[in-house]
Chains A and B, each alone.
Chain A
Amino acid sequence: MKQIYLTVFFLVLSIATASAGGPWPQKKGHGYFKLSEWWTIFDQHYTDSGQIDPNVTSGVFNTSFYAEYGITNRFTTIVNVPLLSRNLINNLRSETTNEIIVAGDAINTIGDIDVGLKYGITKRGATIPIAVSLILGIPTGTENGGSQQNLNTGDGEFNQILRIDAGRGFNLGSYSAYLSAYTAINNRSNNYSEEFRYGIEFGLGTFNKKLWTSTKINVVESFKNGATAETITSTSLFANNTEYSSITLEANYYLTKHIGISASIAGAFRGEIIAAAPSYSLGVFYDMK
């Protein structure tokens, strides 16, 4: 239950700020570290009316290092670094002549880094633990890269997420389980709309708590108070007001007491201006407990 889960979702033009979930801060001196590969490849997207339209196939691949460390029993530091972020778009060829109409392109850079701090409001062992987090998104990735300026490994904006988590661990028959929920506000700069986020997560530990499986529902609602292509004049490549509801299935398996592997699949079942395809993640973690 102490694992912090990371969700990174592709938002057509940007990588969403990573978010650390769950109301359980690390104990002092304990930590959780993960090296993972996250990717999505999509040839369709949700439009502004929520319908699905085709697009030239694009892909995003992130190799990320994620860490959290307990400074005290209540304060946990969090960092997520996409060490290598690759964004590509396919060639567009004529079916009739086989000639390239628009050449594909790719960029490989570091992605947007997130740093954060989680504070446990309730004491360790509380019936319903509650924690607040502040996560800062730093635009270290590349915005408008590639020859067509259509490739991104970051959104080019500083953002601040203030988040509150609450949850409860319990036994489900002979298994350990937990249920948690969160709500958050994402304050964004650079003319992007602010976001309201919320979600719920259910996790189940089996095989003597070696295998933890979880199901998460995440929702992002845009305040739609930022710029649009109509109101912004500095660039013509501006997408905003992204929204989605997604489901994530994740499994974490402890190979040893400290080391394990993780895998997840996620996808939006409702969205606006967002890829309509599943994303996948594979990783190796070290649980320093």
Chain B
Amino acid sequence: MKNPNLILISFLALLMTACIKDDFVDDKVDPLLRIISAIDTIEINTTYQFESKYLNNVGNEEDVDVIWSSSDPSIIEISANGLAFAKTEGQAIISVSLGNDTSSLMDSAEVNVGDNTIKIKQFSMGTIRTTSSYKLEGDFELKEQENGLNLSFADNYSASTALPGLFVYFSNNKNSIANAFEIGSVEVFNGAHSYELVGVGFSDYKYIVYFCKPFNVKVGDGEL
């Protein structure tokens, strides 16, 4: 009371703390280049369009120039834009690499040439684990289906019921849900259950991540 300036300064200091500021998340990841075409065999004398995906240093998809190559052009010939032509029966390794620098980023796939084109029905399995103090555990399977994906969790799945707004996502960054695919809010906390997913490809994402969405708290993850 005797020093109104001190009171005013204290009040202003308090007002400053009541402003929205910035928190930072360490979301740096290694860039990745991958072939997303799942093909086992190309029918002889037909073409097949290969596709790749580049994920930058925060796991976001980015358009980049790539170079396609074939280990044996006499079996499979591939153009600069990834269009392959199956010339004779046999096997070749199709590779993609970054075209704009000398980094070692590349991906490759073994591809056969045969009587019929055979696509690979993709499947993966893994385990989710907690990265927090909240319980989260269980095994999962991800299957490609006719119209999308099926993500199913086994009987040993268990998650904490204490968190408000627990959501599950596909993401290319374990520490961030920026540009992630939101699978939905978690409604089953124990036991087997599954999600039918449309609008998402098998190779689009690398991780399953669990976040408390309203408070941006990461709970756990699993690698696809």
- A residues sitting closer than 8 Å to B (CB atoms) are 13, 37, 39, 41, 43, 47-49, 51-59, 61, 86, 88-97, 99, 101-102, 104-106, 148-150, 228-231, 233, 236-241, 255, 261, 272-273, 282
Q: A91-B22, A231-B161, A239-B162 are in contact. List 18 more A-B contacts (CB 8 A).
A: A47-B162, A48-B160, A48-B162, A53-B133, A56-B23, A57-B23, A93-B24, A95-B26, A96-B58, A101-B178, A105-B20, A150-B215, A229-B189, A230-B161, A230-B189, A230-B190, A237-B164, A237-B165
Interface size class of B (residues with CB under 8 A): 35 or more
Minimum CB–CB distance for A118 against chain B, Å: 30
Minimum CB–CB distance for B97 against chain A, Å: 23
- Neighbouring B residues of A37 by C-beta, 8 Å: 14
B134 CB contact (under 8 Å) in A39, A43, A53: A53
- Neighbouring A residues of B132 by C-beta, 8 Å: 47, 53
A95 CB contact (under 8 Å) in B20, B25, B164, B185: B25
- Neighbouring B residues of A229 by C-beta, 8 Å: 161-166, 186, 189
Judge if B27 is at the interface, Cβ distance under 8 Å: yes
The residue among B58, B162, B176 with the most chain A CB atoms within 10 A of its own CB is B162
- Neighbouring B residues of A91 by C-beta, 8 Å: 20-23
Contacts A/B (CB < 8 Å), 26 sampled: A13-B164, A39-B14, A41-B17, A47-B132, A48-B134, A48-B162, A52-B133, A53-B132, A53-B217, A56-B215, A56-B216, A61-B14, A61-B18, A89-B20, A90-B20, A90-B21, A90-B23, A91-B21, A93-B25, A95-B28, A99-B178, A104-B20, A229-B161, A236-B185, A239-B163, A239-B164
- Neighbouring A residues of B165 by C-beta, 8 Å: 150, 229, 236-237
B159-200 interface bits toward A, Cβ cutoff 8 Å, 1 = contact, 0 = none: 011111110000000001110000001110110000000000
- Neighbouring B residues of A54 by C-beta, 8 Å: 217
Judge if B4 is at the interface, Cβ distance under 8 Å: no
- Neighbouring B residues of A13 by C-beta, 8 Å: 164
Main secondary structure of the interface of B (DSSP, over half): loop
Q: Which of B5-27 contact A (CB under 8 A)?
A: 10, 14, 17-27
The residue among B10, B23, B187 with the most chain A CB atoms within 10 A of its own CB is B23
A223→B153 CA distance, assembly (Å): 32
Contact B58–A236 (Cβ < 8 Å): no
- Neighbouring A residues of B187 by C-beta, 8 Å: 233, 236
B117-136 interface bits toward A, Cβ cutoff 8 Å, 1 = contact, 0 = none: 00000000000000011110
A61→B10 CA distance, assembly (Å): 15
- B212 to chain A: closest residue by CB: A55
Contact A90–B22 (Cβ < 8 Å): yes
- A98 to chain B: closest residue by CB: B24
A89→B212 CA distance, assembly (Å): 14
Contact A55–B189 (Cβ < 8 Å): no
- A50 to chain B: closest residue by CB: B133
Q: A49-B133, A104-B20 are in contact. Are A237 and B176 (CB under 8 A)?
A: no
- A150 to chain B: closest residue by CB: B214
Contact A228–B162 (Cβ < 8 Å): yes
Q: A93-B24, A96-B57, A101-B25 are in contact. Are A39 and B18 (CB under 8 A)?
A: yes
B27 CB contact (under 8 Å) in A95, A228, A238: A95
Minimum CB–CB distance for B131 against chain A, Å: 10
Judge if B213 is at the interface, Cβ distance under 8 Å: yes
A195→B65 CA distance, assembly (Å): 62
Minimum CB–CB distance for B137 against chain A, Å: 14
Contact A148–B214 (Cβ < 8 Å): yes
Contact B178–A94 (Cβ < 8 Å): yes
Contact B28–A96 (Cβ < 8 Å): yes
A94 CB contact (under 8 Å) in B27, B161, B162, B213: B27
- Neighbouring A residues of B1 by C-beta, 8 Å: 255, 261
Contact A228–B23 (Cβ < 8 Å): no
- A86 to chain B: closest residue by CB: B18
- Neighbouring B residues of A106 by C-beta, 8 Å: 20
Minimum CB–CB distance for A282 against chain B, Å: 8
The residue among B1, B19, B20, B189 with the most chain A CB atoms within 10 A of its own CB is B20
- B57 to chain A: closest residue by CB: A96
Minimum CB–CB distance for B196 against chain A, Å: 19
A101→B24 CA distance, assembly (Å): 9
Q: A59-B18, A229-B164, A229-B189 are in contact. Are A101 and B134 (CB under 8 A)?
A: no
Minimum CB–CB distance for B152 against chain A, Å: 19
- Neighbouring B residues of A255 by C-beta, 8 Å: 1
Contact B18–A88 (Cβ < 8 Å): yes
